[in-house]
Structure 1
């Protein structure tokens, strides 16, 4: 069983995430003026990177060329739509990995769409829907890295897939933002967003010196069992930016997936200075009242955080996009600080 990275949701219903969480199309867009028809225009505040087109983006599948400024973007990867929105571009279609509903994004992206996008499946993209949107750019940056998926999408439009070494959603929000901004001709704007967001995380780390060097386990429980996330994944990237060190016992078991399975017999492996858990497809009480979980030394000492399954906080922490990081810093970091007191 592999822990769910982005919540495993297929076309609409919640999927039983296998052992841990899971996980745009354009045309010609003007550099100013917000799109009122949902065609992916850049907002008035966005400026194209100098000499942006044709834009070239290196991916696992080779260098992808975007010939001209895209106007119809479809964003399929985990957090790809939020990244485009942060750059002032409104995808015409997107995947809603965490089942937010509405526009498919969290409150940190509220009001960034003038027109709601077409909802596209996550693990199993609805290719007919995508083709019907007539995309001129597809973003599938934070994704599984599956070759068949990429080949199918790239027949419809230039597709920005995962970078080398980033299969199974193992890509930082910084790299995601860099790739998306280059594809959209907004590399300068992307650099500014990264700098501002990194500064906010750095300020939080400075304000909480008690985080530095402390070990942390970030995991979840699904109907299939327990799991913990490894280095290079969203949640771990977030806590490491705050100064935490990922549980070395978890990383020692890391493979190609974004998480490792943890059997009940080996649940003590989750113990760390701070244990952070989220339920996926089960009630939070399934974690917080479990005798094996409550027997962990960290939990006994009160050094644990258990998110509610569909809470905004849990999903902000899980999304870890250039837009959601700031929200998570403001609302999740205080929970960590309180748990370590």
Structure 2
């Protein structure tokens, strides 16, 4: 396992170094999206990233955005540990909160990207007057685009399409290797749940899509709750079936362990009794939620061993992250 992790770290380092010396591909390019299309005439030099996770993707391509939109956390420039090396000496402007049209106009960017931004049609109408603007794709909605599709768009827009495709192929190859090594995961159920409100991320969300790439499927009962195409579904505390999966992943910002331990019906769940719960703290929850070419390796390195422990169905097998957090059930004799 250590040799395998070292190999993936080396591959990631090579993929980060390659874009620095790479030449841009041909322009102009046209990218269609839910509000129209963006025509990028030449390689952009001053990119404003409005996507909450989009700067991760740009950094993986060797592009430091002129400005980025911070999601959460306290890391420098809103860039999490897995992407700090790619940021290097970059000092992007950090934007917070809602999209500020005047602030962006003052930057005079030559490209605005916002695939995971919640950009409205009104926002787009104003932003597109400032610079070519890439809004979310119609097919995926505001927050439903798969990571590989978002990366392809940014590769095309920045003149680094071949680099993006190589990175996608490498990561998809790693997912394929993990699937092949874990036949028992194929078709098993999994669900990622926010521990602060027992809200489950569906198969249309980037976290659910991540688990699908490992071979898992969404619990059927989860599909029956709320809208079919919803990304996030609140689960009443008196209902457990939608999240009682073969692998139940609790994500947290480090403040909800007490709430998990006091959930009234959690002890009745098979996932609880058989030790199938995985607790992810701040950094791991963020890595899974970013699902970028930089964070995916970080996530897989830590999550795969946890899944292996959780999926054996033996409550005596310790899931280390759950043990450290203090949410493990008592082992039944």
Instruction: Indicate the TM-score class for this superposition, using the shorter chain for normalisation.
Output: 0.7 to 0.9
Q: Which residue of 1 aligns with 2:209?
A: 237
Q: Tell me whether 1:55 sits opposite 2:26 in the alignment.
A: no
- The change in CA–CA distance for 1:275 and 1:174 in structure 2 (over 3 A counts) is same
Q: Is the 8 A contact 2:110 2:132 kept in 1?
A: yes
Residues 325-336 of structure 1 aligned to structure 2 (within 5 Å): 325-336=296-307
Query: 1:153 Cα deviation (Å)?
Result: 2.1
For 1:294 and 1:279, the matched residues in 2 are separated by 19
Q: Which runs of 5+ in 1 are unaligned?
A: 1-33, 35-41
Q: What is the distance in 1 between the residues matched to 2:67 and 2:257?
A: 32
Per the alignment, do residues 210 and 285 of structure 1 end up closer, same or farther by CA in structure 2, a change over 3 Å counting? farther
Q: How many aligned positions are there? A: 294
Distance 1:82 1:115 in 2: 13
Instruction: Return the TM-score normalized by structure 2.
Output: 0.82
The counterpart of 1:264, out of the listed 216, 219, 237, is: 237
Please tell me whether the aligned partners of residues 145 and 168 of structure 1 are also in contact (alpha carbons under 8 angstroms).
yes
Q: 1:212 aligns with which of 186, 189, 199?
A: 186
Any idea what the Cα deviations from partners look like across 1:173-207, whole Å, max 9, x if unmatched?
Answer: 10000111111111111111110111112122222
Deviation at 1:280, TM superposition (A): 5.3
Does 1:177 pair with 2:160? no
Q: Deviations over 1:203-231 (max 9, x none)?
A: 22222222111111211133xx3211111
Determine whether 1:45 maps to 2:28.
no
Unmatched segments (≥5 aa) in structure 2: 1-16, 313-333
The reply to whether residue 126 of structure 1 matches residue 100 of structure 2 is: yes
| More helix by percentage | 2
Q: Deviation digits for residues 234-277 of structure 1, max 9, x if unmatched?
A: 11111111111111221233444311111112233211111111
Distance in 2, matches of 1:216 and 1:259, equals 15
- Is 1:296 the counterpart of 2:272 in the alignment? no
Aligned residue runs from structure 1 range 69-218, under 5 A: 69-113=43-87, 114-122=89-97, 124-218=98-192
Task: Report how far residue 282 of structure 1 moved.
Answer: 4.0
TM-score normalised per structure 1: 0.81
